[in-house]
């Protein structure tokens, strides 16, 4: 076969595998929206068959041979060509998937499924001892996984790469440390500030039907196309890009809190716009048609949720509409008071309930701990003590029980070590990208005040979405903003916002 023929065969195979995987996405979406509870065991069997089928086909030695042949051909000479990008990224995925011995994969699946059950029990009883032997097993297996992948520097790099391809601790460590120090200072200022928002404004009665109407109108104005997407209800909100012309977002409503569904829906719609902005018509099934990383994905959701949805300009347009819809709860409330309420900062134990400012401190604490667990500097038995000590230092409050501390997250029990940093990377990237968008469109906030968001969507499409995985995240950031990843834009944005709201 010529190199071109080999490449075409590779792409054809990848497209078929992605078509298979996308049917799994539909099944997963259905499971979390409409499926009756009784279908759970059967659905697990369906999903497991598809996943072993795709894994077996993708790790077939034939794929490795094709990649080797292509790597030596003229077809990939130009590093930025579609062919070179796809071969580079498929090689990366192929190596990772073939490096893990089958018995290790099976042991991880078995152990994490039991660890997950024990974690749930431990969290419910707030008893770390129940989870400890399982955490020890998981950490041990994650270490083995890192060894099987191979790495430069420390083992954490091997695991981080699963979620943020190409990223290393060295890339992020300085940025994270500086961010943490500045956030601790910011929190202290907020704590000592003379003004405090009245959060009760957003914790009144908010009719779910009206919340739904409001949320749909907001995401439609963001440019989320309901002809090529859906918004449904679930317990843990997420977004899934099925294929071209089909992107699903899911949210949940709380009748006594306005923020949850509104910002949650904008968040998932931000993910959805990224999915639908990828060039799936041309590149479906290949890395050129896939997102750059979880961090970049999260930058898109966070930008719409925070930089847009929690901005004053956004509410200059939407507050009068919200007042008309939620007559009783927002009667007599001023725009300024409402704006302060949706931006309230308050240190609390639980990450998923955290505000925009404290959220990253939750992540950085977890990142520091899991890194130390992998190097062996921290023993699993010492996790609660270490957690609580750092929590006190960063948040200024004592953890009262482990279910409010080290037992709150599902990640470690599920074997997702190395995942947490992608949340904070998302926030950092979103601030860097948004600054650049403001530079390119100085009237962006005036556009928001008029209810116009499509130019921002276009900007994101042209600068970020359409590239797929052409550039790794750090390089994409440099391409778009002309600067490496930095913590300063995020801190500057927060300082500006909170100094106005809190009067410091």
The interface with Co ion within residues 149-208 (CB under 5 A) comprises none
Q: Which of residues 249 and 357 has its CB atom nearest to Co ion in the complex?
A: 249
Residue 269 or 485: the one with the smaller Cβ distance to Co ion is 269
- Residue span 478-497 as binding mask against Co ion, x where in contact by CB under 5 A, dash where not: --------------------
- 243 vs 426, beta carbon nearer Co ion: 426
Token digits of residue 374: 């992998």
Parallel/antiparallel/unpaired status of strands 239-243 and 229-233: unpaired
DSSP assignment of 194-246 equals S----GGGGGS---HHHHHHHHHHHHHHTT--TTSEEEEE-SS--EEEEETTE
Element containing residue 56 per DSSP (H, E)? helix 40-58
Map 406-448 to HEC letters. CCCCCCHHHCCCCCCHHHHHHHHHHHHHHHHHHHHCCCHHHHH
Q: What is the distance between the alpha carbons of residues 189 and 206, in angstroms, rounded to a whole number?
A: 32
Q: What is the 3-state secondary structure (H, E, C) of 23-39?
A: HHHHHHHHHCCCCCHHH
- Vertex 25, ends 477 and 474: CA angle to 5°? 10
* Residue number, 259 or 301, with CB nearest to Co ion: 301
Minimum Å gap between C-beta 231 and Co ion is 15
Window of 83-91, 100-108, 299-307, 340-348 that interacts with Co ion by CB under 5 A? 299-307
Of the candidate spans 217-225, 301-309, 333-341, 472-480, the one that interacts with Co ion by CB under 5 A turns out to be 301-309
64 close to 265: Cβ distance less than 8 angstroms: no
Q: Select the span of 24-32, 50-58, 71-79, 293-301 touching Co ion (CB under 5 A).
A: 293-301
Number of residues that bind Co ion (CB under 5 A): 1
Q: Are 469 and 291 in contact (CB under 8 A)?
A: yes
**Per the residue annotation, which of 142, 268, 298, 368 is the catalytic one?**
268
Choose between 138 and 490: whose C-beta lies nearer to Co ion. 490
Whether the Cβ atoms of residue 80 and residue 89 lie closer than 8 Å to each other: no
Give the footprint of Co ion on residues 36-65 (CB under 5 A).
none
Q: Which two tokens stand for residue 314?
A: 């956004």
Shortest distance (Å) from residue 271 CB to Co ion: 6
Q: Which stretch binds Co ion (CB under 5 A): 40-48, 73-81, 300-308, 466-474?
A: 300-308
Q: Would you call 268 a catalytic residue per the annotation?
A: yes
Minimal distance, residue 252 CB to Co ion, in Å: 14
Task: Report how far apart the first and last C-alpha atoms of the chain are (Å, whole number).
Answer: 69
Both structure tokens of 434? 């948004």
What is the smallest separation between the CB atom of 432 and Co ion, expressed in angstroms? 17
Tell me how far apart the alpha carbons of residues 485 and 125 are, in angstroms, rounded to a whole number.
41
CB of 266 to Co ion, least distance (A): 11
Which residue of 112, 247, 299, 301 would you call a contact of Co ion, by CB under 5 A? Answer: 301
Instruction: Between 85 and 222, name the residue whose CB sits nearer to Co ion.
Output: 222
Does residue 300 bind Co ion (CB under 5 A)?
no
- Minimum distance, C-beta of residue 112 to Co ion, in the bound complex (Å): 22
Nearer to Co ion, 272 or 405 (CB): 272
Residue 356 near residue 310, CB atoms below 8 Å: yes
CB of 298 to Co ion, least distance (A): 5
Question: Which residues are catalytic, by number?
Answer: 268
Binding site for Co ion (CB under 5 A): 301
């Amino acid at each position: 076969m010529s190199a071109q023929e080999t490449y075409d065969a590779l792409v054809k195979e990848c497209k078929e595998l992605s078509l298979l995987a996308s049917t799994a996405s539909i099944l997963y979406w259905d499971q979390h929206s409409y499926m009756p509870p009784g279908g759970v065991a059967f659905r697990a069997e369906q999903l497991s068959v598809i996943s072993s089928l795709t894994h077996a086909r993708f790790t077939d030695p034939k794929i490795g041979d094709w990649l080797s042949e292509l790597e030596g051909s003229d077809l990939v000479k130009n590093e930025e060509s579609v062919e070179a990008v796809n071969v580079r990224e498929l090689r990366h995925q192929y190596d990772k998937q073939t490096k893990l011995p089958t018995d290790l994969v099976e042991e991880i699946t078995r152990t994490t499924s039991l660890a997950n059950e024990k974690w749930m029990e431990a969290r419910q009883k707030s008893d770390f001892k129940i989870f400890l032997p399982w955490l020890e097993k998981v950490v041990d297996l994650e270490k083995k996984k890192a060894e099987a992948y191979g790495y430069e520097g420390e083992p954490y790099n091997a695991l981080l790469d699963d979620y943020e391809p190409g990223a290393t601790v060295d890339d992020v460590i300085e940025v994270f440390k500086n961010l943490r120090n500045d956030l601790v200072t910011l929190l202290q200022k907020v704590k000592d500030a003379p003004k405090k928002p009245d959060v009760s404004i957003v914790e009144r009665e908010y009719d779910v039907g009206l919340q739904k109407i409001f949320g749909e109108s907001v995401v439609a104005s963001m440019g989320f196309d309901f002809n090529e997407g859906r918004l449904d209800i679930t317990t843990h909100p997420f977004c899934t890009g099925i294929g071209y012309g089909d992107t699903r977002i899911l949210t949940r409503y709380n009748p006594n809190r306005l923020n949850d569904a509104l910002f949650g829906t904008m968040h998932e719609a931000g993910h959805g716009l990224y999915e639908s902005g990828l060039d799936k018509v041309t590149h479906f099934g290949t890395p050129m048609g896939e997102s750059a990383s979880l961090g970049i994905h999260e930058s898109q959701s966070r930008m719409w949720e925070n930089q847009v949805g929690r901005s004053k300009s956004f509410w200059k347009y939407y507050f009068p509409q919200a007042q008309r819809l939620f007559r009783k709860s927002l009667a007599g409330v001023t725009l300024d008071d409402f704006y302060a309420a949706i931006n309230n900062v308050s240190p609390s134990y639980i990450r998923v309930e955290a505000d925009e400012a404290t959220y990253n401190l939750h992540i950085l604490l977890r990142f520091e701990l899991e890194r130390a667990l992998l190097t062996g500097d921290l023993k699993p038995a010492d996790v609660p003590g270490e957690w609580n000590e750092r929590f006190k230092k960063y948040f200024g409050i004592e953890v009262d029980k482990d279910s409010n501390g080290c037992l709150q997250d599902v990640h470690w029990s599920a074997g997702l070590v190395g995942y947490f940093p992608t949340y904070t990377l998302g926030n950092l990237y979103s601030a860097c990208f948004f600054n650049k968008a403001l530079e390119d469109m100085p009237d962006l906030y005036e556009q928001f005040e008029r209810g116009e968001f499509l130019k921002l969507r276009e900007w994101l499409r042209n600068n970020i979405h359409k590239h797929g995985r052409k550039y790794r995240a750090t390089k994409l950031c440099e391409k778009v903003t002309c600067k490496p990843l930095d913590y300063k834009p995020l801190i500057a944005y927060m300082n500006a916002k909170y100094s106005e709201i809190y009067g410091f």
